[in-house]
């Protein structure tokens, strides 16, 4: 398990994932697609990444809008694993 990050570490790492917002103890990103199935295809890709990393985001699907929330529940906050996962998801969207 990764160690809980302090505020300064979070401020540094959030700059590496500029599409993500910090909401409390979570990283949040909203991805909008033209069609429902594009969002589902994206979620399938996220699922593969999450399984490989053994670190899983909360996923909310609203037609063609997908909201991802990433945190490390075991430490009740953010760790390096959260930022790593966010970066890998960003690569999927690029």
Domain ranges of the chain: 7-93
Which pTM value belongs to this model?
A: 0.94
- Spatial neighbors of 16 by CB under 8 A, at least 6 apart, are 83, 87
Contact, 31 vs 68, CB < 8 A? yes
pLDDT of residue 74: 94
The helix/strand/coil state of 78 is: coil
Q: Are 17 and 86 in contact (CB under 8 A)?
A: yes
Contact residues for 45 (Cβ-Cβ < 8 A; gap 6+): 92
Neighbours of 22 (CB within 10 A): 14
Name the superfamily (CATH) of residues 7-93: Transcriptional coactivator/pterin dehydratase (3.30.1360.20)
* Confidence grade of residue 2 (pLDDT, cut at 50, 70, 90): confident
pLDDT of residue 1: 58
């Amino acid at each position: 398990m990764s160690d809980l990050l302090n505020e300064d570490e979070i401020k540094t790492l959030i700059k590496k994932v500029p599409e993500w917002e910090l909401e409390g103890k979570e990283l949040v990103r909203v991805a909008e697609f033209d069609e429902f199935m594009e969002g589902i295809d994206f979620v399938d890709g996220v699922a593969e990444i999450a399984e490989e990393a053994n670190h899983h985001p909360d996923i909310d699907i609203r037609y063609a809008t997908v909201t991802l929330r990433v945190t490390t529940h075991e430490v009740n906050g953010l760790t390096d694993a959260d930022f790593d996962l966010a970066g890998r998801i960003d690569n999927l969207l690029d």
